Amino acid sequence: MERKLILQGKQAYTVALPISWIRKHDLSPKDAVQIVEEGDKLVVSSKLKAKSESIEVNVSGNTRLEAMLKIESKYIQGYDEIRINHDNLPLIREISQGLMGMVIEDYKKDYCVLKSIVNSADDNIRNIIMKTVFILEEQAKTLVQLAEGKIKLETSLAEESLMDYNNLYAVRFLNKYKQDAEGHALFLICSSFDIVSDLMGEIAKKIKKDVKLAKSVEYYIINYVKLLQKNDFKGLNKLLLDESKHGQKTFLEGILYSITEILYNYLAYIVEIFNKK
């Protein structure tokens, strides 16, 4: 179909979208749409608006792990309402606390409803990723405090749990609003940060009083975050390549090398996402 451009101010044009398309995708005034440039084409997408969906799951007689995996899988798939048949309300309450944006709307002895309180894609995925790297930064700082004997292991590992909590929400967001090539790249970025967090957790369990190693981890993570905030991709490349010049004499040094190697391997995806205007 053909649409005429309308001059809007001195430097912009607007174009009317067909009402049939608006109704088909259940859009309202002030809703956001995506406009992606592909060669000489502009592709308009309504993917940032998702319809509310509901599903029922039965976890009666399941172990804690089985119940958690069943419920989390529905959460990750993007369901806004999860109706749960169960035989362990305290367990359902515990699981729901790890599902960002979900609350228990209704519950009985053997039945409850988890409902999303986030109904639109107001959260920008770039912001979600930045929240994730800030968690990595805090995890690296607590690693130094642990090696210095200022905190206990449980405190350090709590940051790793926070990373799991945040990444679960990020994956849900991507499944719900970004099922495209960019969403795949974002998923890989989130997965790489999750692996880095797990590796720092392994270092924490074995760090003892190796303050030097802990500060090396802190150095790489803090500078990674700073350079990412500045979109300094050349600086990121140099930072991560520098570690490859160092020898890995100990097991923990090998884990540090793995951390920088993982961040380097996914740098191309970071550049692709963060370099967009």
Cα-Cα end-to-end distance for the chain: 29
192 — pLDDT class (breaks 50, 70, 90): very high
Is 243 a residue whose pLDDT tops 70? Answer: no
Q: What is the mean pLDDT of the chain?
A: 86
Does one domain contain both 111 and 183?
no
Quick one: which of 116, 86, 84 has its CA closest to 99? Answer: 116
Pairing of strands 54-58, 81-85: parallel
Averaged pLDDT for residues 71-100: 92
Instruction: Tell me which of 90, 116, 142 is where a domain ends.
Output: 116
Does one domain contain both 95 and 155?
no
pLDDT of residue 7: 76
Q: Is the separation of the CB atoms in 188 and 265 below 8 Å? A: no
Q: Does some domain include residue 90?
A: yes
Does one domain contain both 140 and 172?
yes
Does one domain contain both 99 and 129?
no
Does one domain contain both 259 and 145?
yes
Instruction: Tell me which of 116, 138, 157 is where a domain ends.
Output: 116
Q: Does some domain include residue 190?
A: yes
Q: Does some domain include residue 246?
A: yes
Does one domain contain both 270 and 162?
yes
Q: Does some domain include residue 110?
A: yes
Q: Which structural domain range is residue 251 located in? A: 125-274
pLDDT of residue 154: 93
Task: Give CA–CA dist 150/77, Å, rounded.
Answer: 40
Percent of the chain with pLDDT over 90: 49
Least confident stretch, 13-27, 29-43, 82-96, 165-179: 29-43
pLDDT of residue 170: 87
Q: Does some domain include residue 60?
A: yes
Task: Give CA–CA dist 66/59, Å, rounded.
Answer: 8
217 — pLDDT class (breaks 50, 70, 90): very high
| Higher pLDDT among residues 266 and 7, named by residue | 266
Number of domains in the chain: 3
Does one domain contain both 141 and 232?
yes
Q: Does some domain include residue 136?
A: yes
181 — pLDDT class (breaks 50, 70, 90): confident
Least confident stretch, 38-47, 80-89, 126-135, 208-217: 38-47
Percent of the chain with pLDDT over 70: 87
- How far is Cα of residue 134 from the mean position of the Cα atoms in its chain? 12
Q: Does some domain include residue 255?
A: yes
Does one domain contain both 87 and 20?
no
Q: Does some domain include residue 149?
A: yes
Does one domain contain both 264 and 129?
yes
Does one domain contain both 23 and 100?
no
28 — pLDDT class (breaks 50, 70, 90): confident
pLDDT of residue 10: 63
Does one domain contain both 143 and 258?
yes
Query: pTM of the prediction?
Result: 0.74
The per-residue pLDDT for range 133-154, each reduced to its tens digit, is 999 999 999 999 999 999 999 9
Is 131 a residue whose pLDDT tops 80? Answer: yes
Does one domain contain both 169 and 72?
no
Instruction: Tell me which of 116, 142, 161 is where a domain ends.
Output: 116
